[in-house]
């Protein structure tokens, strides 16, 4: 509320006030929905790609309603790069772990030697972990695509 | 004539995708502006995606999300469930198309920075001179 | 120039429409795309992976290589955009 009053004082004509307030209220729910789409991909339409795009869209919405600098405060470029690397590494790491544990590459049933849950359950869990990695990678790549394309690469001012 | 009409009605999904593909193809080869060419390629990809998804349809089928316990105990009747394979292939194709669009737009931004225009013939003129 | 583009487009469209004569009608459960491999996926996916969403099961498990290299593709695309466009603040 205080931030809002400051903003009104700074910007008396209030050109973007409604949009900014609506976006600030909406973004947490969009992110929650994106997480739901990723995590619930086993039981409903969804999965890593779709949820990752929804999560990325929330950050893009922030950058559109405020400006690029403000969206960089919520998600810095460094963290974004880290997340994209982490997402790709989770996928390949799970696949390599399967190979190291004695199964085939990407054969999630081999993870049973780590925690015995049953081969089918590990197939389900392995898909879940992999989708998590895909979601992280897709989210951060979408955000970085938008940042670079909107600002022409110098991250000074966007759309 | 009657035969042609039944042919069109029975396979109208293919006709729609061919029309969409022609729009995209014309934009790719007929337009001079590079962004329009890129968007034409996007329309082309959408046509291919729609075509693949439409091949997986079964009349009266269910969506490919099953009831886990019923499927484990009674088995699955494959003729009642829509083919999930084209959906999977097109899910990956959509993401690849997004990546291609992103990289192409980045290269277009660089081209605009270098030559000051996105019209194909003007760029070629500037390269030659 | 535009006339040639239009002619080429029309010719491609006619060839493609001629090709659809051999396709199965819309919604046919016994069409070639619906009858060979996908049948096995639908019947076995739930008992082999315990995932009710068949699309997720095929995407993450049966076609795991596809999905993995696809993540690599989108990662490479992001890195390529950063390499092409990013300018350090100077």
Which residues, in sequence order, are CB contacts of C67 under 8 Å at separation 6+?
Answer: A91, A130, A134, B92, C59, C60
Q: Which residues of B touch A149 (CB under 8 A)?
A: 102, 105-106, 109
Mean pLDDT across A30-47: 92
CA distance C89 to chain B (A): 17
A contact chains, 3+ CB pairs < 8 A = B, C
Residue labelled with tokens 């022609």 = B22
pLDDT above 80 (res B111): yes
Share of chain B above pLDDT 70, in %: 100
Among the ranges given (A10-14, B4-8, B14-18, C21-25), the one the predictor scored with the smallest mean pLDDT: A10-14
Task: Assign A68 a pLDDT band (cuts: 50, 70, 90).
Answer: confident
Task: Assign A12 a pLDDT band (cuts: 50, 70, 90).
Answer: low
Question: Looking at residue B62, what is its pLDDT?
Answer: 87
Mean pLDDT across A22-32: 93
Question: Looking at residue A102, what is its pLDDT?
Answer: 87
**Strand, coil or helix: what is B31?**
coil
Q: Which residues of A touch C82 (CB under 8 A)?
A: 144, 148
Subunit contact B94:A45, Cβ cutoff 8 A? no
pLDDT above 70 (res A8): no
CA distance C11 to chain A (A): 37
Q: Is A142 left (phi over 0), alpha (psi -120 to 50) or beta?
A: alpha
Q: Which residues of C touch A120 (CB under 8 A)?
A: 47-50
Q: Which residues of A touch C75 (CB under 8 A)?
A: 84, 87-88, 137, 141
Smallest CA-to-CA distance from B55 within C37, C23, C59 is with C23
Q: Which residues of A touch B91 (CB under 8 A)?
A: 47, 49
Residue B65 φ then ψ, to 5°: -125, 115
**Structural domains in chain B?**
2-64+77-128 (1.10.287.3510)
**Strand, coil or helix: what is B62?**
strand
Of B60, B76, B107, which has the smallest distance from its Cβ to C42's Cβ? B76
Measure the CA–CA gap between B127 and A74, rounded to whole angstroms.
Answer: 43
Mean pLDDT across A30-35: 94
pLDDT < 70: residue spans in chain C:
89-90
Question: Looking at residue A74, what is its pLDDT?
Answer: 85
CA distance C66 to chain A (A): 11
Question: Looking at residue A159, what is its pLDDT?
Answer: 65
Question: Looking at residue A17, what is its pLDDT?
Answer: 81
CA distance A8 to chain C (A): 31
pLDDT in tens, B37-86: 999 999 999 999 999 998 888 888 888 888 888 888 888 888 888 999 99
Which chain A residue shows the shortest CA-CA distance from C90?
A154
Which chain C residue shows the shortest CA-CA distance from A96?
C68
Against a cut of 0.90, is the pTM above it? Answer: no
Task: Assign A158 a pLDDT band (cuts: 50, 70, 90).
Answer: low
- Provide the token pair at C5: 């583009």
Assess contact for C51 and B64: CB atoms under 8 A: no
Assess contact for B51 and B14: CB atoms under 8 A: yes
Share of chain B above pLDDT 90, in %: 57
The ipTM is 0.85
Residue C53 φ then ψ, to 5°: -80, 105
pLDDT in tens, A80-132: 999 999 999 999 999 999 999 988 888 888 888 888 888 888 999 999 999 99
Share of chain C above pLDDT 90, in %: 44
Tell me how far CA of residue A6 lies from CA of A17, A27, A135, B40, C89, in angstroms.
12, 21, 36, 46, 29
Question: Looking at residue C21, what is its pLDDT?
Answer: 83
Measure the CA–CA gap between C37 and A136, rounded to whole angstroms.
Answer: 31
Q: Is A102 left (phi over 0), alpha (psi -120 to 50) or beta?
A: left
pLDDT above 80 (res A4): no
Smallest CA-to-CA distance from A133 within A41, A29, A57, A59 is with A41
Q: Is B62 left (phi over 0), alpha (psi -120 to 50) or beta?
A: beta
Question: Looking at residue B3, what is its pLDDT?
Answer: 84
Question: Looking at residue A7, what is its pLDDT?
Answer: 66
């Amino acid at each position: 509320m205080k931030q809002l009053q400051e903003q009104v004082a700074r910007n008396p004509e209030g050109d973007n006030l409604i949009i900014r307030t609506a976006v600030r209220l909406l973004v947490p729910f969009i992110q929650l929905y994106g997480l739901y789409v990723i995590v619930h991909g086993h039981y409903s339409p969804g999965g890593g790609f779709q949820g990752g795009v929804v999560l990325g869209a929330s950050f893009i919405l922030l950058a559109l309603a405020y400006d690029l600098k403000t969206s960089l405060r919520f998600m810095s470029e460094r963290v974004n790069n880290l997340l994209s690397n982490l997402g790709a590494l989770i996928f390949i790491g799970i696949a390599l772990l399967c190979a190291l544990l004695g199964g085939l590459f990407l054969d999630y049933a081999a993870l049973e030697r780590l925690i015995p849950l049953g081969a089918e359950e590990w197939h389900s869990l392995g898909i879940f972990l992999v989708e998590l990695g895909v979601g992280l990678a897709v989210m951060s790549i979408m955000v970085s695509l938008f940042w670079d394309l909107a600002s022409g690469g110098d991250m000074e001012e966007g759309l | 004539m009657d035969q042609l009409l039944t042919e069109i009605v029975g396979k109208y999904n293919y006709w729609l995708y061919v029309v969409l593909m022609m729009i995209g193809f014309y934009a790719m080869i007929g337009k001079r502006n590079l962004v329009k060419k890129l968007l034409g390629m996007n329309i082309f990809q959408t046509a291919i995606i729609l075509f693949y998804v439409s091949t997986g349809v079964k009349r009266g089928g269910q969506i490919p999300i099953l009831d886990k316990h019923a499927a484990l105990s009674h088995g699955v009747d494959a003729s009642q469930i829509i083919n999930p394979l084209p959906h999977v292939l097109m899910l990956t194709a959509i993401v690849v198309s997004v990546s291609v669009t992103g990289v192409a737009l980045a290269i277009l931004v660089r081209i605009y920075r270098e030559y000051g225009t996105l019209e194909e013939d003007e760029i070629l003129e500037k390269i030659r001179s | 120039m535009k006339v040639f583009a239009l002619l080429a487009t029309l010719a491609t469209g006619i060839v493609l429409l001629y090709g659809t004569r051999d396709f199965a009608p819309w919604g046919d459960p016994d069409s070639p795309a619906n009858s060979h491999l996908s049948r096995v996926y639908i019947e076995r996916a739930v008992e082999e992976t315990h995932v009710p969403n068949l699309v997720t099961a095929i995407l993450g498990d049966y076609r795991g290589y596809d999905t993995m290299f696809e993540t690599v593709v989108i990662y490479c695309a992001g890195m390529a955009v950063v390499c092409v466009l990013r300018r350090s603040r100077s």
